């Protein structure tokens, strides 16, 4: 029976009782409890079911290494699965639910299944089982695996996380990860040099294990030394201390992620729930401590079997006694501290079995002196299966598990030795050495991770380096602090010796099987990886089947692949693998340690980027007007552009047709502000633009415009737009909406890395200007009316401002630049005013235009209008594989220029191939609209038996002006096949028949734009 | 001619810090040889400021000059004067290779003031905002969350941010989120 | 995540302020070049285990292109310099030679 003690519990406040629920039952705990300690205090030994066999599982550990006690926390918009009870701080109203069972935790169908089918679930089960027959995969296996994969249920996709998150960038000379006595000492030593120091502690309390394990530092009890040191550090301006903040990962060049849990313990506090610290540290000290290893004996997963030091933690930290009759199994002296703690708290230690033939040292003597029975060379043969520990069978360690003695107990404390937490050291490449004496991998200080300067930037401190005794830990920590500060550029300092008082311990001995020659029945019940249900027998089977590489064995057996990433299981698993392969552990090696150290929330990774600031939305100066006038927006890059302006009672399609017709018949306004506008200026600007564009720009006359094409160096079309010559050495280049930043960058790249001696400056003025396309037969009338109202302005007549020219002046009182350019084939002016006057100018046009039938139009009307005229659109007719010749744009490729980007590429054999698909117009035989992206098929089949393709649709629309579907496409030998009818199989089974025609569908002579 | 309006028409928000859209300011992108006497005297004549040192902003009686890149300054002047200032620069720099462009309307400008200003900035930009590394007169181009921005600190400890006009709303919302009253970090 | 020194801003900046531009010191081949020359210019790239030169742009910053000489194995950065040159300057070659004696990269060597 697990109970709350009347006394003890250094972390709980007995004056503050809190209620919480577990599987709907209300339970009580204290402030300062973890969910795990509170569950144990309520005798809740069974906390979950295992992944594969649905075995009953209890709490094994007291910290982040816990593999079993994963629960679903919270509900609705605050529900989160797979949360470790051991690191969940208790608060009033906490709701926890156990996972991985059906119909209930106590009675689980899966468990019965596993008893029947356990022998069908060996290592590599998935690989072996789900191969044949093939159709079973989709209909039987995959649904089954998906249902059983993962642990807790994923949150409901309809429920949006109620919390907010944020990032924080921080820079420091020295970052200390871990706020135990080693971390505090390292911080103190480093801070004394004046270095800027940040210390992260993942728990809500400082000092780590030392107050539980005892000992004195500098003449003070560990707890008092911690309080004093915290006070000293807190008073220093150069030191920042953060608790509830885990060092999650160490990355290149001193980049470290800290995961701060701000409100997990107080969900009603408000403010962000998690903060992700994005730290740049010159030096990182990992004072991450060590993790105790389980022992591999049969039934080591029965609820009530826990790590020895964790049992001690529950007693000392939270005043919880996990059992009244405790059996302790160990291969080292540290577990005797648990015997002392159990005894001191009034529990009964029914037996200590020490696997070592010669047993323990002083601590063992102390235990014996209390009258506790200690047996050397003994082992646990088996813990009886069940939902809690009831009986423990003991045997000789050096045997097969026979001649058992069965004793009654309700808890087992086990210790297989300690492994330094090397994860953060290893994340960025720190290497390890095998320490055979202590049976663990420890960091090799000569092979540390290196930073941008090629020098080491991570140093370990305390038991994270390997030593376990308090004296050695403190000495190592002080040295680490000094080393880090010096490497961060602070003065070197001699490290004073730190006086400590602790007990000498006898040498541990590695025990990988308990008993040493356990038979198969026992090995099949000896768990290595609790969370993924991997047993000793599984790893042995993998080895027999030829999985000799540790990385392969890991994936084959899933050892260490659960959410705890094998913190408890890896070393034991490696030892079993090495034994099976008749090899040594260092030869087998370790798997790779990857960040994060423990799972961190997706919310923290996303930071502030959710809701309205999920991503930047770019708005034109007229955005609000569009929104208020029925705009149905579409994303164009980060811009939001009106697709159409929908009126009451209209569908979007209706609106598009209305806008298309009105623009040809009356007057349309288009917000063209998103078009890129780059000013290129300098004595070499003309020469430069001649390289950038396929056609000649240097000879463009001042006041005139020219449509230009841009190709990449390998010849493909990348952008187009109208270029205007502003003055002797200045040009203004329009780009596509998506091209402004890209083309600006493209120009800068060539100017900075290739023609860096050319005198050219480029400035992106896209957002300086609001640009409105005034389009339609009434375009001139509305501008003239505005000018008349303002009492004069720019002459916009055909004579004063001819097609493909521009003028500066005033329109309706607005300072403006007007371009006579047309992307619709209509009489059209594109007028640029300052962005700050964009809305006012738009309003003026709209008001004045009412008598001329003005309507705003959106991007879909823009597309249809240009398609009616056979104008290409970058991104529709081009896809990164299309060259100007494919689009019959040879006229825009200068023959006079010796060079331009793409010119050389156009002479490559494939580019000059006469069989390249070329642009044509397409008209369906029945007037319907061709499906977008459809492929045309020709005679014969390809190597795969599919029909040969001879072309594809690049743009396709319903033209309201023509009353039929129109399309453009790329077709093999297309321009030579005018009038031919080709077939486009649709995905709906229909064969669409279309006639190859000229791509200019409307006003073929171009009379309407030049009036 | 209408009254020009800024991207957010002077929006404000008070949280951990006060966030304010500071309205329209005159801004000129000046590119050229920053070491040349012609640029130095032209900058001086229109702003009263010297050509700023690397990553600094220099103040003058008629404006300020900020270091944008080795061949680019951002000149801050009166909004109404911007075109006139460009004309003056054109006159002063004639015959040299330079470029002066009025970009006043291409930008949205914000101020972030209050004790937590460094922290709020530190949530959004990958920049060291400790007092030792960023002080009054320091100027930096970087990103705030997902958009490019330039910012500097004034003598009163307030930050001034310049970003593109189209993302003004995003910037304001971002600063609002980062200045949630219960999100103090407490490190500066 | 890399930190590179922007030689223009004289500041260590993190990768999120930068845009990667691929291999540095490419020699452009235009009209008149052979098919092989042009092909190699467009498509053939180094993939070294060790010393490498690559273009980076301080895009969320001064907007300038620079070249970083770094080790692709250890991510050690030997130095950065403006991109307005056709080959690595002598000082950076010397610096690499100090750390990686006998290094070569394309036609360049210590």
pLDDT in tens, A934-992: 999 999 999 999 999 999 999 999 999 999 999 999 999 999 999 999 999 999 999 99
Q: In B, which residues are within 8 Å of C61 by CB distance? A: 141-142
Q: How far apart are CA A337 and CA A351, in angstroms?
A: 14
Helix axes A308-318, A335-344, angle to 10 degrees: 40
| DSSP code at position B97 | S
Lowest pLDDT segment from A125-129, A160-164, A363-367, C85-89: A125-129
Establish whether the linkage from the previous residue to A596 is cis, with ω within 30° of 0: yes
Cβ of B70 and C17 within 8 Å? no
Q: How far apart are CA A903 and CA A898, in angstroms?
A: 9
Q: Is residue B139 part of a domain?
A: yes
Which of B87, B105, B123 represents a domain boundary (last residue)?
A: B105
Cβ of B142 and C17 within 8 Å? yes
Identify the pLDDT of residue A555.
Answer: 87
Give the neighbours of chain B: at least 3 Cβ pairs within 8 Å.
A, C
Residue A916 pLDDT class (50, 70, 90 cuts) = very high
Residues B78 and B99 in one domain: yes
Of A196, A613, A765, nearest to B101 by CB-CB distance is A765
Give the neighbours of chain A: at least 3 Cβ pairs within 8 Å.
B, C
- Best residue of B34, B170, B176 to probe chain A, by most A CBs closer than 10 Å: B170
- Contact in structure between A167 and A607 (CB atoms under 8 Å): yes
Average pLDDT, chain A: 94
Q: What do you get for the CA distance between the two ends of chain B, in Å?
A: 47
pLDDT above 70 covers a percentage of chain B that reads 99
Cβ of B166 and A271 within 8 Å? no
- Contact in structure between A630 and A649 (CB atoms under 8 Å): no
Q: Is residue B93 part of a domain?
A: yes
Picking from A861, A824, A866, A856, the residue whose alpha carbon sits closest to that of residue A654 is A861
Strand-strand pairing, A216-217 and A500-501 = antiparallel
Q: How far apart are CA C41 and CA A740, in angstroms?
A: 27
Q: Mean pLDDT across the stretch B20-35? A: 97
Q: How far apart are CA A318 and CA A309, in angstroms?
A: 13
Q: What's the CATH code of the domain at B141?
A: 3.30.1360.120
- Contact in structure between A501 and A358 (CB atoms under 8 Å): no
Residues B163 and B130 in one domain: yes
Of B4, B126, B182, nearest to A169 by CB-CB distance is B126
- The torsion angle over the Cα atoms of residues A438, A441, A447 and A450, rounded to 10 degrees, is -130
E-only strand ranges, chain C:
3-6, 11-14, 19-23, 51-57, 65-71, 77-82, 104-105, 108-109
Cβ of C76 and A454 within 8 Å? yes
Q: How far apart are CA A419 and CA A425, in angstroms?
A: 13
Q: How far apart are CA A869 and CA A891, in angstroms?
A: 17
Of C1, C29, C64, nearest to A752 by CB-CB distance is C64
Report CA torsion sign: B139, B144, B146, B147: negative
How many Cβ atoms from other residues are within 10 Å of residue A824's Cβ? 26
Identify the pLDDT of residue A493.
Answer: 85
Paired residues of A936 in beta bridges:
A951
Q: How far apart are CA A778 and CA A775, in angstroms?
A: 8
Q: Is the pLDDT of residue A21 over 90?
A: yes
Q: Is the pLDDT of residue A474 over 60?
A: yes
Q: Is the pLDDT of residue A147 over 60?
A: no
Q: How far is CA A471 from CA A288, A291, A456, A884, in A?
A: 17, 19, 26, 77
Cβ of C38 and A253 within 8 Å? no
Q: Mean pLDDT across the stretch A212-235? A: 96
- Contact in structure between A536 and A525 (CB atoms under 8 Å): no
Answer whether C63 touches B (CB < 8 Å): yes
E-only strand ranges, A361-497:
374-376, 378-383, 391-396, 405-408, 411-415, 418-420, 432-435, 440-443, 458-460
* Sequential DSSP letters for A295-355: ---BTTTSTTEEEHHHHHHHHHHH-EES-SEEEEEESSSTHHHHHHHHHHTT-EEEEEEE-
A483, burial (CB in 10 Å: exposed 0-12, middle 13-18, buried 19+):
buried
Number of structural domains found in chain C: 1
Identify the pLDDT of residue A509.
Answer: 96
Identify the pLDDT of residue A152.
Answer: 79
Residues B139 and B92 in one domain: no
Q: How far apart are CA C43 and CA A35, in angstroms?
A: 59
Q: How far is CA A485 from CA A177, A186, A248, A455, in A?
A: 14, 9, 22, 14
Identify the pLDDT of residue A125.
Answer: 62
Q: How far apart are CA A620 and CA A624, in angstroms?
A: 9
Q: Is residue B73 part of a domain?
A: yes
Residues of A906-945 as b/e, b for ≥16 C-beta within 10 angstroms? bebeebeeeebbbbbbbbbeeeeebbeebbbbeeeeeeee
Q: What's the CATH code of the domain at C31?
A: 3.30.2270.10
Residues of A706-715 as b/e, b for ≥16 C-beta within 10 angstroms? bbbbbbbbbb
- Contact in structure between A470 and A400 (CB atoms under 8 Å): no
Residue A548 pLDDT class (50, 70, 90 cuts) = confident
Q: How far is CA A643 from CA A211, A567, A821, A865, in A?
A: 67, 54, 22, 13
Q: Mean pLDDT across the stretch A116-120? A: 54
Strand-strand pairing, A676-681 and A761-764 = antiparallel
C49 in helix, strand or coil? Answer: coil
Picking from A615, A625, A999, the residue whose alpha carbon sits closest to that of residue A825 is A999
Residue A134 pLDDT class (50, 70, 90 cuts) = low
- Best residue of C1, C10, C57, C63 to probe chain B, by most B CBs closer than 10 Å: C63
- The torsion angle over the Cα atoms of residues B138, B143, B149 and B151, rounded to 10 degrees, is -20
- Within 13 Å of residue C70, how many CA atoms lie on the same side as its CB? 23
Contacts of A946 (CB under 8 A, 6+ apart): none
Residues B100 and B110 in one domain: no
How many Cβ atoms from other residues are within 10 Å of residue C19's Cβ? 15
* Sequential DSSP letters for A111-171: HHHHHHHGGG--TTHHHHHTSSSHHHIIIIIHHHHHHHSSSSPPPPTTSPP---EEEEEEE
* Chain B nearest CA to A819, separation (Å): 20
Query: Which domains occur in chain A, in start order?
Result: 165-290+419-501 (3.50.50.60), 512-588 (1.10.10.1100), 623-673+768-866 (3.30.1360.120), 676-767 (3.30.70.1400), 870-997 (2.40.30.110)
Contacts of B184 (CB under 8 A, 6+ apart): B16, B116, B119
Residues B127 and B89 in one domain: no
pLDDT above 90 covers a percentage of chain A that reads 85
Residues of A770-804 as b/e, b for ≥16 C-beta within 10 angstroms? bbbbbbbbbbbbbbbbbbeeeeebbebeeeebeeb
Which of B59, B76, B105 represents a domain boundary (last residue)?
A: B105
Q: How far apart are CA A867 and CA A825, in angstroms?
A: 10
Q: In B, which residues are within 8 Å of C9 by CB distance? A: 54-55, 141
Domain that holds residue C88: 3-109
Residue A154 pLDDT class (50, 70, 90 cuts) = confident
Number of structural domains found in chain B: 2
Contacts of A683 (CB under 8 A, 6+ apart): A729, A759, B97
Paired residues of B144 in beta bridges:
B147
Q: How far apart are CA A168 and CA A240, in angstroms?
A: 14
Residues B117 and B85 in one domain: no
Average pLDDT, chain C: 97
Which of B82, B105, B128 represents a domain boundary (last residue)?
A: B105
Q: Compute φ and ψ for A948, nearest 5 degrees.
A: -65, 140
Q: What is the pLDDT of residues C22-64, one digit of tens each?
A: 999 999 999 999 999 999 999 999 999 999 999 999 999 999 9
- Alpha carbon A135 to chain centroid distance? 34
Q: Is the pLDDT of residue A143 over 90?
A: no
Q: What's the CATH code of the domain at B69?
A: 3.30.70.1520
Q: How far apart are CA A739 and CA A538, in angstroms?
A: 57
* Chain C nearest CA to B2, separation (Å): 34
Could you give the residue ranges of the DSSP H alpha helices within A685-778? 685-692, 740-753
Domain that holds residue B39: 26-105
- Contact in structure between A88 and A29 (CB atoms under 8 Å): no
Picking from A774, A763, A864, the residue whose alpha carbon sits closest to that of residue A812 is A774
Identify the pLDDT of residue A562.
Answer: 83
Identify the pLDDT of residue A123.
Answer: 66
- Contact in structure between A830 and A668 (CB atoms under 8 Å): no
Q: Which long-range contacts (CB under 8 A, 24 or more apart) does C95-101 make?
A: C95/C69, C96/C51, C96/C69, C99/A454, C100/C50, C100/C51, C100/C71
Residues B71 and B114 in one domain: no
Q: Is residue B7 part of a domain?
A: no
Q: Mean pLDDT across the stretch A843-861? A: 98
Q: In C, which residues are within 8 Å of B68 by CB distance? A: 62
Give the neighbours of chain C: at least 3 Cβ pairs within 8 Å.
A, B
């Amino acid at each position: 029976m697990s109970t709350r003690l009347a006394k003890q519990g250094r972390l709980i406040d007995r004056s503050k009782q809190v209620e919480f629920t577990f599987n709907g039952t209300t339970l009580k705990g204290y402030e300062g409890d973890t969910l795990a300690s509170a569950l144990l205090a309520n005798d809740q030994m069974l906390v979950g079911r295992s992944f594969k066999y649905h075995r009953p599982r209890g709490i094994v550990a007291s910290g982040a290494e816990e593999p079993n006690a994963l629960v679903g926390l919270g509900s609705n918009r605050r529900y989160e699965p797979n949360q470790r009870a051991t690191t969940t701080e208790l608060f009033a109203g906490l709701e926890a639910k156990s996972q991985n069972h059906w119909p209930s935790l106590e009675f689980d169908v899966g468990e019965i299944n596993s008893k029947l089918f356990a022998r069908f679930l060996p290592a590599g089960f998935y690989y072996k089982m789900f191969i044949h027959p093939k159709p079973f995969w989709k209909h039987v296996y995959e649904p089954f695996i998906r249902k059983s994969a993962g642990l807790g249920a994923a949150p409901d996709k309809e429920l949006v996380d109620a919390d907010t998150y944020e990032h924080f960038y921080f820079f420091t000379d020295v970052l200390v990860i871990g706020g135990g006595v080693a971390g505090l000492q390292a911080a103190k030593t480093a801070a004394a040099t004046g270095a800027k120091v940040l210390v992260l502690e993942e728990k809500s309390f400082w000092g780590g294990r030392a107050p539980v394990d005892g000992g004195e530092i500098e003449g003070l009890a560990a707890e008092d030394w911690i309080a004093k040191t915290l006070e000293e550090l807190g008073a220093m301006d150069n030191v920042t201390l953060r608790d509830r903040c885990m060092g999650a990962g160490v990355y290149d060049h001193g980049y470290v992620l800290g995961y701060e849990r701000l409100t997990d313990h107080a969900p009603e506090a408000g403010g962000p729930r998690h903060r992700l610290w994005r730290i740049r540290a010159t030096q990182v000290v990992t004072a991450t401590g060590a993790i105790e290893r389980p022992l591999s004996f049969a039934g080591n997963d029965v609820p009530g079997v826990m790590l020895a030091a964790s049992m001690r933690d529950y007693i000392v930290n939270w005043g919880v006694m996990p059992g009244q009759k405790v059996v302790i199994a160990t291969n080292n002296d540290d577990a005797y501290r648990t015997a002392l703690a159990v005894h001191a708290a009034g529990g009964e230690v029914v037996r200590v079995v020490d696997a070592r033939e010669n047993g323990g040292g002083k601590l063992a003597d102390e235990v014996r002196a209390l009258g506790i029975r200690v047996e050397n060379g003994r082992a646990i043969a088996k813990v009886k299966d069940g939902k809690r520990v009831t009986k423990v069978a003991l045997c000789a360690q050096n045997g097969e598990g026979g001649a058992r003695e069965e004793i009654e107990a309700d808890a087992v404390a086990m210790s297989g030795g300690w492994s330094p937490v090397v994860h953060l050291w290893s994340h960025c490449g720190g290497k390890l050495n095998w320490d055979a004496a202590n049976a663990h991998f420890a960091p090799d200080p000569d092979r540390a991770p290196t930073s941008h300067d090629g020098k080491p930037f991570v140093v370990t401190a305390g038991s994270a380096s390997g030593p376990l005794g308090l004296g050695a830990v403190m000495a190592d920590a002080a040295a680490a602090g000094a080393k880090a500060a010096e490497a961060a550029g602070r003065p070197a300092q001699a490290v004073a010796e730190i006086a400590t008082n602790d007990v000498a311990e006898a040498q541990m001995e590695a025990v990988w099987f308990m008993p040493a020659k356990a038979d198969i029945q026992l090995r099949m019940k000896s768990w290595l990886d609790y969370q993924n249900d991997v047993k000793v027998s599984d790893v042995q089977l993998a080895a027999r089947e030829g999985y000799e590489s540790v990385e392969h064995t890991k994936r084959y057996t899933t050892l260490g692949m659960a959410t705890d990433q094998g913190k408890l299981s890896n070393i034991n698993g490696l030892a079993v693998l090495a034994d099976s392969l008749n090899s040594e552990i260092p030869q087998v090696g370790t798997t790779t340690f990857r960040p994060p150290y423990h799972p961190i929330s997706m919310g923290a990774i996303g930071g502030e980027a959710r809701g309205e600031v999920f991503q930047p939305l770019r708005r034109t100066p007229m955005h609000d007007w569009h929104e208020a006038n029925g705009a149905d927006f579409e994303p164009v890059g980060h811009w939001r552009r009106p697709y159409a302006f929908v009126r009451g009672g209209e569908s979007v399609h209706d609106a598009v047709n209305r806008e298309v017709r009105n623009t040809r018949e009356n007057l349309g306004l288009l917000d063209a502000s998103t078009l890129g506008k780059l000013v290129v200026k300098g004595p070499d600007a003309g020469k430069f633009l001649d390289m950038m564009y396929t056609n000649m720009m240097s000879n463009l006359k001042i006041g005139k415009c020219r449509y230009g094409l841009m190709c990449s160096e390998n010849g493909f079309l990348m952008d187009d737009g109208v270029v205007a010559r502003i003055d002797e050495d200045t040009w203004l280049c329009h780009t596509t909406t998506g091209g402004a930043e890209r083309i600006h960058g493209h120009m800068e790249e060539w100017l900075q890395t290739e023609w860096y001696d050319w005198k050219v400056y480029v400035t992106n003025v896209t957002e300086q200007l609001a640009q409105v396309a005034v389009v339609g037969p009434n375009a001139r009338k509305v501008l003239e009316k505005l000018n008349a109202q303002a009492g004069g302005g720019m002459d916009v007549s055909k004579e004063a401002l001819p097609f493909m020219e521009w003028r500066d002046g005033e329109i309706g009182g607005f300072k403006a630049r007007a371009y006579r350019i047309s992307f619709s084939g209509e009489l059209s002016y594109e007028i640029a005013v300052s962005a700050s006057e964009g809305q006012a100018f738009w309003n003026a046009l709209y008001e004045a235009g009412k008598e001329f039938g003005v309507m705003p139009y959106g991007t879909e009307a823009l597309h249809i209008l240009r398609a009616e005229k056979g104008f290409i659109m970058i991104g529709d007719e081009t896809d990164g594989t299309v060259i100007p010749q494919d689009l019959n744009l040879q006229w825009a490729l200068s023959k006079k220029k010796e060079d331009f980007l793409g010119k050389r590429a156009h002479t490559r054999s494939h580019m000059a191939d006469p069989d390249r698909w070329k642009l044509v117009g397409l008209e369906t035989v029945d007037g319907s609209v061709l499906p977008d992206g459809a492929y045309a098929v020709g005679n014969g089949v390809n190597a795969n038996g599919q029909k040969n393709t001879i072309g594809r649709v690049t743009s396709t629309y319903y033209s309201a002006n023509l009353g039929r579907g129109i399309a453009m496409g790329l077709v093999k030998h297309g321009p030579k096949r005018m009038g031919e009818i080709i077939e486009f199989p649709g995905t709906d089974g229909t064969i669409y028949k279309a006639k190859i025609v000229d791509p200019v569908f409307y006003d073929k002579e171009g009379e309407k734009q030049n009036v | 001619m209408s009254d020009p309006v800024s991207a957010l028409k002077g929006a404000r928000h008070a949280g951990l810090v006060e966030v304010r859209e500071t309205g329209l300011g005159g801004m000129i992108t000046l590119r050229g040889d920053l070491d040349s006497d012609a640029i130095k005297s032209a900058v001086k004549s229109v702003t009263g400021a010297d050509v700023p040192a690397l990553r600094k902003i220099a103040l003058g009686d008629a404006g300020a000059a900020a270091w944008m890149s080795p061949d680019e300054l951002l000149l801050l002047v009166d909004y109404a004067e911007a075109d006139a200032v460009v004309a003056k620069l054109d006159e002063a720099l004639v015959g040299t290779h330079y470029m002066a462009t009025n970009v006043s309307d291409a930008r949205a400008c914000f101020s972030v003031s209050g004790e937590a200003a460094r922290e709020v900035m530190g949530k959004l930009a990958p920049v060291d905002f400790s007092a030792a590394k960023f002080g009054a007169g320091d100027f930096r181009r970087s990103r705030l969350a997902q958009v490019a921005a330039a910012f500097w600190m004034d003598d009163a400890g307030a930050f001034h941010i310049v970003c593109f006009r189209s993302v003004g709303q995003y910037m304001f919302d971002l600063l609002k989120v980062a200045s949630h009253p219960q999100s103090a970090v407490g490190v500066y | 995540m890399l930190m590179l020194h922007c030689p223009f801003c004289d500041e260590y900046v993190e990768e999120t302020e930068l845009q990667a531009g691929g291999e540095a010191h490419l020699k452009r081949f235009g009209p008149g070049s052979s098919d092989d020359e042009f092909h190699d210019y467009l498509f053939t790239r180094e993939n070294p285990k060790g010393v490498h030169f690559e273009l980076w742009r301080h895009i969320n910053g001064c907007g300038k292109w620079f070249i970083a000489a770094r080790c692709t194995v250890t991510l050690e950065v030997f130095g950065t310099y403006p991109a307005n040159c056709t080959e690595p300057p002598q000082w950076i070659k010397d610096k690499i030679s100090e750390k990686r004696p006998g290094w070569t990269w394309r036609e360049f060597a210590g």
